[in-house]
Each structure stands twice: as C-alpha cells, then as structure tokens.
Chain A
Amino acid sequence: MSDGSEMNNKGQNTPVLVIGAGIAGIEASLLLADSGRKVYLVEKTSYTGGNVIKFEELFPSMDCATCMIAPKQQELLANENIELSTLSQVEAVSGSFGDFSVKIRKKARFVDLENCIGCNACFDPCPVEVGNEFEEGLSKRKAIYIPCAGALPNVPVIDTENCLRFKGQDCQACQEACIFEAIDFTQQDEELELKVGAIVVATGFSMFDPSKTAQYGYKKFSDVYSAMEIERICASNGPTQGQIIVQSGEPPKSVAIIHCVGREEKGYCSSVCCMGSLKLSHFFKKKLPKVKITQFYSDLCIPGKAYQKFYEEVKESGVDFIRATVTEVSKPGKELAIKYKTEDSKENSLNVDMVILNPALEPGAESSKLAEMLNILQSKEGFFSEKEPDLTSVATAREGIFIAGCAQGPKDIAETVAEAEAAAGRILALSK
C-alpha cells in the first residue's frame, strides 16, 4: 500500500470550494477535509452556522441546536485543511471540473481574527444602535457587534453602513476600548483567487415575507409574528431571553399558528413547516402550560418514521387543530380576530392574543446571481436544479458542481446533512 501521497490521478487532491457555512456547508467541508482535501469555505455573513443556530431546539428530539452544532463549528475552525472566509462572496467562476478558477470578494471585518479574544469590551462604548438582523430586528445591536451570544468565530464585525467613523465622523470609541489592539480601521476588502477542482453550493434558504399576503395583518397589527421571529423570542440567547410576551407585556393566553403562509404564492409545500409549527406549540406549552393553542392547517405533512409520535404528543398536550383557510386577521379591539373557512365552506372566527404565521421557505436572495456565475440551472421556483430529479438531488448538470441542503429545495436537517455528505461522497469518488 502507498501512503496516500503517491495517488496522482486527475482531480485527486484538488481543493474544493464550499459556498455557505450553514449546517450543509459545515458537514461537507468537514468530510472533505478529513479525507485530506483542502477546503475553501466561503460564507457571506460574519459567522458560521447559518439558519440552524437561530433555533433554540430542533424537532423531533428537541435537542438544543447550538449545543448540537457548536462542536462542529469548533471542529471547523480548528481543522487545518479548511480555510474559512467569512464576509465573503463569490464574484466570478470560470473553468471546468478539476480546474475551476474562482474569484472571491472578502469584505474587511475591521477586527483582527487573531488578536481578538471575543471579550465584547468594544460594544459598550459604541454610540450607534440599530436593529439586529439576526434577531429579526427584535433587538438592537451596535455598529460593532457579534450577531448573537455564542456566534463562531467569536469575533465582532464593524458594520460600515452604520459606523460613525465610516460615515466621516471622528469616532474611535471601540478601538480605544480594545486592549488587544484588535480593531483595525485600515483593513481593506480583499480579492481572493482560488483554484479548485469541485464546488459545493450550500447557500440555504430565505423565508417568504408574510407581509406579501395582506390578509394576515403581518407588520400591520402588533402581536402578529413570523415563525422565525418566534424562534428567536423562544431562544434563551434571543431578544427576550426566551420569555414569551405580547405587546401588553403579559404572556399570551391564546395563540393561533397559521400554516402554509405563502404556499399558494410559491406553489409548493415547504416540507418542514408542519413540524416547525408543532415544535413552536411544544415550546409554548412548556413555557406557558395554560396557553390555548390553535393550529390552522390544510394538510398535515409530517413525513417519515420519526414525526407522527411528536405530533401525537403535541396534540395530547391540548393543542387544537382546525383544518381551514384563514381568510382574514384583524384587530378590532385588544385581541386579534381570525376569520376562517372550513373545507365544508362554514365560516367561523376565533379571537386570540397572538398570531404566528408559518411562511414558506424560498430560495436565498442571491441564488440567481450565483446560478449565472456557476452556469447552473434553477427550477422555476428559483432553487438550484439537480440534473436527474428521480435519482440524486445533489448533482447539477455541470460536472464538478454539487448542491446540498435547502439551496436545492426545502428540506429538514437530516436530509440536508445527508445531502452534504452525498456531495462530499460524489466529489471524493469523482477523482478516485
């Protein structure tokens, strides 16, 4: 047997580009790196973990998401074969399988990754306060910030759109507060040129904006929330430290969860929302045992061996399920009023303290740009297209370019992880 260094077939040991450091990108990177491959992991935000780390707990086991993902994030940062570029985006791709050239634009963080120890001393003196995107705008952050406690890498970033210094004022409050001299206003954006043999696209999903469906009163009435807002409200590291309260300052006595928000507009079932809604019910019942929960749904989609039991447990905890179409949410008084129509065309209404809208999953905002750069196809819904839908979901029509996770279409975490491993498998097998 050789010691591995003698293998020199075409494509063998070429580096791999992974786009997106959510759970799919992390898993694919770790497998590829463990096999001995060099991996360039490119992430547009300042942190790893993607959407998954926004969730307090994950169905159906209700294990803590951060606790589950953090060891993988740590492993990622410690792995010598993985070069992580945060605040980075792909600008151009040329070449073909075995020999892609990739241009990456890496935005300056203005905080040195080596020197910073993540002590947060720079936040306090910053005079700027803006809504924190990570928290769906439900809490404030400074112009120098870490999006949430426990973000990795645990190093802040300066948001140049809001930082006074970058608006021309002479502020260096954060720099003065940093005893490690980690803040460096002179950092410049960088252009990286990479040579890679294969590419994994793991750019995840966005959430359908419920304000596009006027009947639900989202952003019109207080106490109408999107599911992601509620995920953050339920999170112990979130804006309310996990406390569920409505505008009045009281915990809600009654909650309605409306499924399939945007399903008709998008034209597909988003796979995970029924389970997501059950999970939110479970959270609420745990935190507020007396709360009355009503779910409005059309079809219950809880596919696979593991989910039925969770549904039954939630149902038994006293959650009502009404199969109906919600026609209007209004706020005639203190409470929200829900008008709905059942399948046998009976109209009815229900008053609640809080409404949660569970929106469709849609393709990431910049999917089209990326598809064009990579020269891969998108489905009419905007997700990246697989070459053979009846066979595998991870191979695109372009050799050497693979997709994993919700960038390909809505799916749950287990399916996402399997796809990430599958993409790694295809790449490692391609060059054997």
Chain B
Amino acid sequence: MAKKIGVYVCECGGNIAEKVDIEKVITAVSPLKNVEVAERHKLLCSEGGREFLKQSIAKHGLTHVVVAACSPKQHEVTFMNVCKEASLNPQLFQLVNIREQCAWVTPNGEEATDKAIRQTRAAISRVRYHSPLEKKETECSPDVLVIGGGIAGIKASQLLAAPDRRVYLVEKTFSLGGKVKSFSKLFINMESGLSLMEQEIKSLLGNENVEVLTESEVEQILGFLGNFEVKIVKKAENEELNFNVGAVILATGFDLFNPKGLPQYGYGKLDDVYTSLEFEEMNIPDGPSGGKILLKNGKPPESVAIIHCVGRKEKDYCSKVCCLYSLKFDRMLKSQLPAVKVSHFYPDLCIPGKSFQKFYEDTKELGVEFVRSAKTEVAGNAKGTTIKYETETGSKGDLVADMVILIPAMESSSDAQKFAEMLNIPQDEKGFFAEEHQLLAPVASAVEGIFVIGCAGGPQSISESIVQAEAAAGKILSALVPGRKLELEVRTSEISEDFCTGCKTCIDVCPYGAITFNETRRISVVNEVLCHGCGSCAAACPSGAAKLRHFTFSQIYQELKEVVR
C-alpha cells in the first residue's frame, strides 16, 4: 500500500506562530515524498483540534502522521490516542517539538523557522520507516517465593498470602524466626522479641496459603517477572520441589562482623568479652544462663563496658542500629543488676528519628556513663579487663570493667554472593544487594520481579525491615494482580539470529538483565518481559545484530539525514 503521510503544524495559540513562519514550514514539507496533506491548526491539543486531526486522518486515508507542536512530554500520548481513535496504529505517528526546541529558545524568527522545517522534514523522513508495533501481553503467576524466615520474610509472607496468591517461604535452618527470636527485648518498647516471633510464626503456620519450607535450600531460580521457575531441595527428606512464582523476595538478613580479626578488642582471648549477639543470648530466659547476666566465674558483673563501632572502620559504614540497641542493653543491665556500672565508649552517637533522643536521655538518667573515645582498646591484666581510650584531642584514660560488650558492624550475609550469582543481581561494594535505585526504588533489585528487604539490603532496624517487607508486598500486589496479564513494553529490542556472533557484549551492558545467552545456538536472546527499550544493547553491539524497535538504524539515519541536510 502506498504511504500517505499527513503533516500537521500547530500554532499553539501564538506560542509557535509568533516565532515560526508556519506557512513556510507547510510550503517546505508539502512537496516531500509521500506527503499527502500538510495543514496548520490553531491549537491541535484542544477538543476541536483533536477532532480535526481525527477526521483529517480518515478523510485522506493516511498511513502515517507527523505533528509539529510541543514537547512529547506534554502531548505525545494525546496525539497517539487520536491516532488510535482514527484506527491508525499509534506507533505510525511522530511528534516534532517545535515549541520548546524552536519557538521558545531560538530568538531569531528565521532561524527558528529553518530549524522547525529541518525537524519536521526529519520526522517525515523517519516516520516512513515506522513499523506498526503492537502491544503484547503475557500470562503471569501471582505467587511469590520468599527466601529467609526472619522477621522480614515472615511479615512479607503474611501480607502477600491470599486465596488467590500462594507464598512459599524457604528457610535454610530448621526453624523460623531469624535473629529477632533471640532478642529478649526490642527497643523501644522493651517487649520480648521471642514472644513477638512466637506469635508471628504461629499466625504464619496457621495460614493455609503459605507453604513453609524449613531446612531447605534454593537450588535454582530461572526466569523473569511473572514467570520464575524455582527448584528447592528439602535437606532433611532429600526431596526436590519444583514450582513457579511471579516474584521473588530476598530476606536473607545479615551477619555480624567477627571481632576476632581485630586483636585490640581481645575478643576470643580475654574472658568476658562478648559480642552483642552473645549478650542477647545471655538474656534469653530459657538460654544457658537462664536469662541471667553472668561472668564466666558465675558471678554477676559489677561493671560493664560497651564498645561501639567495632569494625566500622574496616567495613567503612555506620551500621545504623548499634547506638540504639546498645541503649537497650543499658536498660536490660540496669533492670537485672540495678547497681551495675555501665560505661559506653563511642565516637559519635547516632540516634536518628523522633523517638530515640528521649530513650537516650532516660537511659542516661539511670546512671549510665558515656565516654567519647576516638580509639578504644581492651587489655587484660591481673586486675581484670581494662578499657584504654583516647579522646579526639589526644587525652587518654583507662577504666576497669568486669564485662565487655562489643558492638560489631553488621555485614552482608554469607549467602549473599550465592544468591547474587543465582539471580544475576548486583551487590554493592559492601556486599549487600544493590537497590534498583538508591532513593526511588529501595526494595527493588536491578532485576524486575526480584525484591530485597531487611538487612539483606543493608543495616536497618526491625521496624525498617518490616516496612521494607510491606513495601515489597506493595510492589508485588500492585504489579501481579491475580487474573491480570502483564502488559509489555512496545519498543523493545531484538537480536538478529543471523548477525549475532555470540560475543555477549549486549549481556554486559543491559541494565535490566533482559538478555540471556542461548548456549546451544550460541546467540544472545532478548526477553521482552524484562526489556525496557533503553537501547544500550543496540548501541554496544559490534555486529549490528541488536536493534531497538522504533529506534532502528534506518529510522535514526533517515531522521539525522534531514536534520543536517
């Protein structure tokens, strides 16, 4: 069928017409190849303008449309919708921005007109090469795999599970509850972490829409948003489970920095030097000491030193919650041993947010001492354990303490790398899973459909971890609605089988993990569900095999040719 292009130039009231000589534009483009009609209108985006456009498309039997008007940010969708109403595929339309890019920024009228002509010519030249791309949809599963049975994973599972949405919660150890279940108290209400977890676990196990798989390992996850194939191995039974989900949540938590690597703290060498988690365990009512805070010699301590920021320098970040929970330790110590002397050694006190200053001040009033120290060491001698500290200005001091509690940095879980490789999601330079966007997408990973919550993404408090669990649930509930199909991006890229040499350059540059390598055919393949149409692969491909639909080389050359002619 012969191409018939309609060109419409908008006056935008006087906004374009006062600077750009619209008659000149019409005269310049009318004789161009395939141009069936070229007309002007006072305000194309108005109701009258849209109706005029719609009728003109029908009247002239147009196959392609070019509108020279404002920014695509403003009215591209408006005019694409008009095309749709006129039964013309909206991809066969091109908008030229002669307002923001010509009339409003080019002071000289003749120059603005010349620029408008070039840009309109370029659009006409390009639109001839447009293809009638169609919107596609794909089936998807609303089910979710949650990896990690700590507080974040449990909360996410509870929110997501529904009669029309199955949740699989996989935990590698034999029980749910993660680290929180060993916290005898939570800041700031000082409730029991164990009883909280018991309630949460009970409610989860009673939920028929959640399948809890403890002592299980994730062996393989293949696929993409809406269509992940999961392989789990139940270690106790040595049984393999296979199922499909639409989304994956990583809630694999954190590890504590091991202070053994830092000899100045005496950990592992001196008696009664504990990490924060060891101190937490000491406080569990049915723990080895029956919840009693005791020294190795079986006596309660008379003095306790709490040392902040152990490993901060080595890890090179602030672990966010240590100042807060060390204040919680004061409360635990003082309630069990009212006469105990507690001293903190800290470089900076980081207690962000509306609630914690008061908690700190109340704690201080219990008789807790805070010593600002830039450098703190623990030494053992005949008298017992001595804390040596040095202030920022260089003055030194020491203090004897029966018990030392080290507050180590939180670091990424030892599992992180395994999952990063399995799911092809990046880790940041600290080893935590990286966010899709640091600010705007804090719980999404770089791969669509895979979410990261809680300390797997970086140090955070229990409440922040739960908020992230709820946030991931929000993203999934919003995107994977049972019974609804996934709408795909129209302008995706494709890789020509014939031209692809299998060099994998495209796989390295794709920011969405949308390209995989087919080992049998030795070529790269684009997954249209994941492709956002950014064009990175098309730009990087050395053999011209990758091309972006709607931004093909011929379309771009045709456009450029007319701009520079």
Interface residues of A (CB under 8 A from B): 1-4, 6-7, 27, 31-32, 34-36, 58, 60-61, 63, 68, 72, 74, 78, 115, 117, 119, 179-180, 263, 267-272, 299-309, 312, 323, 342-344, 379, 381, 383, 389-394, 408-415, 417-426, 428-429, 432
Indicate if the CB atoms of B160 and A300 lie closer than 8 Å.
no
B256 contacts the other chain (CB 8 A): no
Name A264's closest neighbour in chain B (CB-CB).
Answer: B357
Closest CB-CB distance, B453 to chain A, in whole Å? 9
Name A342's closest neighbour in chain B (CB-CB).
Answer: B393
Binary CB contact string for chain B from 453 to 490 against chain A (1 if under 8 A, 0 otherwise): 00000111011101111111111011101111000000
Indicate if the CB atoms of B350 and A393 lie closer than 8 Å.
no
B172 contacts the other chain (CB 8 A): no
Indicate if the CB atoms of A180 and B186 lie closer than 8 Å.
no
List residues 301-355 of chain B with CB under 8 A from any CB of chain A: 316-321, 348-355
Closest CB-CB distance, B244 to chain A, in whole Å? 14
**What are the residues of chain B within 8 A of A32 when measuring CB–CB?**
478
From B162, B320, B355, contact of A409 by CB (8 A):
B355
**What are the residues of chain A within 8 A of B460 when measuring CB–CB?**
304
List residues 374-424 of chain B with CB under 8 A from any CB of chain A: 391-393, 395
Which of A6, A392, A426 has the most CB atoms of chain B within a 10 A radius of its CB? A392
Contacts A308-B316, A390-B188, A418-B471: A424 and B459 contacting too (C-beta < 8 A)? no
Name A343's closest neighbour in chain B (CB-CB).
Answer: B372
Indicate if the CB atoms of A394 and B73 lie closer than 8 Å.
no
* Other contacts beyond A303-B350, A393-B467, A414-B442: 10, CB < 8 A: A35-B478, A60-B438, A61-B438, A68-B440, A305-B432, A390-B196, A391-B462, A392-B466, A409-B355, A421-B470
Indicate if the CB atoms of A419 and B350 lie closer than 8 Å.
no
Contacts A301-B351, A305-B428: A423 and B474 contacting too (C-beta < 8 A)? yes
**What are the residues of chain A within 8 A of B428 when measuring CB–CB?**
305-306
Indicate if the CB atoms of A268 and B353 lie closer than 8 Å.
yes
B443 contacts the other chain (CB 8 A): yes
Closest CB-CB distance, A2 to chain B, in whole Å? 5
Q: Which of B11-19, B522-530, B532-540, B557-565 contacts A (4 or more CB under 8 A)?
A: B11-19
Name A33's closest neighbour in chain B (CB-CB).
Answer: B478
Q: What are 16 A-B pairs with beta-carbon distances under 8 A?
A: A3-B483, A34-B478, A117-B13, A119-B15, A180-B13, A268-B355, A302-B350, A392-B463, A393-B463, A394-B467, A409-B354, A415-B467, A421-B472, A424-B478, A428-B477, A432-B162
From A68, A312, A389, A426, contact of B189 by CB (8 A):
A389
**What are the residues of chain A within 8 A of B358 when measuring CB–CB?**
267-268
B222 contacts the other chain (CB 8 A): no
Q: Provide the bound-state CA to CA distance between A34 and B486, in Å.
A: 12
Interface size on B (CB < 8 Å)?
79
Q: Provide the bound-state CA to CA distance between A344 and B355, in Å.
A: 28
Indicate if the CB atoms of B481 and A4 lie closer than 8 Å.
yes
B70 contacts the other chain (CB 8 A): yes
Indicate if the CB atoms of A419 and B471 lie closer than 8 Å.
yes
**What are the residues of chain B within 8 A of A34 when measuring CB–CB?**
478-479
Name B14's closest neighbour in chain A (CB-CB).
Answer: A179
Indicate if the CB atoms of B353 and A304 lie closer than 8 Å.
no
Name A428's closest neighbour in chain B (CB-CB).
Answer: B477
B168 contacts the other chain (CB 8 A): no
From A27, A36, A271, A423, contact of B352 by CB (8 A):
A271
Indicate if the CB atoms of A119 and B393 lie closer than 8 Å.
no
Closest CB-CB distance, B246 to chain A, in whole Å? 12
- Enumerate the 10 nearest inter-chain pairs by beta-carbon distance, A residue then B residue, closest first: A425-B474, A422-B470, A421-B471, A271-B352, A409-B354, A428-B477, A303-B320, A305-B458, A425-B473, A424-B474
Indicate if the CB atoms of A309 and B478 lie closer than 8 Å.
no
From B354, B467, B479, contact of A381 by CB (8 A):
B354
Q: Provide the bound-state CA to CA distance between A417 and B443, in Å.
A: 9
Closest CB-CB distance, B487 to chain A, in whole Å? 10
- Grouping DSSP codes into helix (H, G, I), strand (E, B) and loop, the A interface class, with mixed when no group exceeds half, is loop
Contacts A4-B483, A117-B12, A305-B317: A428 and B478 contacting too (C-beta < 8 A)? yes
Which of B186, B471, B478 has the most CB atoms of chain A within a 10 A radius of its CB? B471
**What are the residues of chain A within 8 A of B372 when measuring CB–CB?**
343
From B392, B438, B467, contact of A392 by CB (8 A):
B467
Indicate if the CB atoms of A36 and B355 lie closer than 8 Å.
no
Indicate if the CB atoms of B351 and A425 lie closer than 8 Å.
no
Q: Provide the bound-state CA to CA distance between A410 and B77, in Å.
A: 38
Q: Provide the bound-state CA to CA distance between A307 and B350, in Å.
A: 13
From B357, B468, B475, B483, contact of A2 by CB (8 A):
B483
Indicate if the CB atoms of A2 and B318 lie closer than 8 Å.
no
Indicate if the CB atoms of A1 and B483 lie closer than 8 Å.
yes
Indicate if the CB atoms of B470 and A413 lie closer than 8 Å.
no
**What are the residues of chain B within 8 A of A115 when measuring CB–CB?**
46
**What are the residues of chain B within 8 A of A415 when measuring CB–CB?**
442, 464, 467
Name B435's closest neighbour in chain A (CB-CB).
Answer: A414
From B43, B350, B393, B468, contact of A418 by CB (8 A):
B468
Q: Provide the bound-state CA to CA distance between A179 and B391, in Å.
A: 70
B191 contacts the other chain (CB 8 A): yes
**What are the residues of chain A within 8 A of B479 when measuring CB–CB?**
34-35
Name B482's closest neighbour in chain A (CB-CB).
Answer: A1
Q: Provide the bound-state CA to CA distance between A2 and B460, in Å.
A: 39
Q: Provide the bound-state CA to CA distance between A155 and B131, in Å.
A: 36
**What are the residues of chain A within 8 A of B349 when measuring CB–CB?**
299, 301
Q: Provide the bound-state CA to CA distance between A263 and B349, in Å.
A: 14
From B12, B160, B459, B468, contact of A305 by CB (8 A):
B459
Indicate if the CB atoms of A417 and B350 lie closer than 8 Å.
no
Indicate if the CB atoms of A269 and B351 lie closer than 8 Å.
yes
B439 contacts the other chain (CB 8 A): yes
From B13, B395, B441, B481, contact of A36 by CB (8 A):
B481
Q: Provide the bound-state CA to CA distance between A2 and B483, in Å.
A: 5
Q: Provide the bound-state CA to CA distance between A58 and B466, in Å.
A: 25
**What are the residues of chain A within 8 A of B470 when measuring CB–CB?**
392, 394, 421-423, 425-426
B165 contacts the other chain (CB 8 A): yes
Closest CB-CB distance, B484 to chain A, in whole Å? 5
Q: Provide the bound-state CA to CA distance between A36 and B477, in Å.
A: 10
Binary CB contact string for chain B from 15 to 56 against chain A (1 if under 8 A, 0 otherwise): 100000000000000000000000000010110000000000
Contacts A390-B189, A417-B440, A422-B467: A268 and B357 contacting too (C-beta < 8 A)? yes
Indicate if the CB atoms of A302 and B187 lie closer than 8 Å.
no
Q: Provide the bound-state CA to CA distance between A60 and B478, in Å.
A: 28
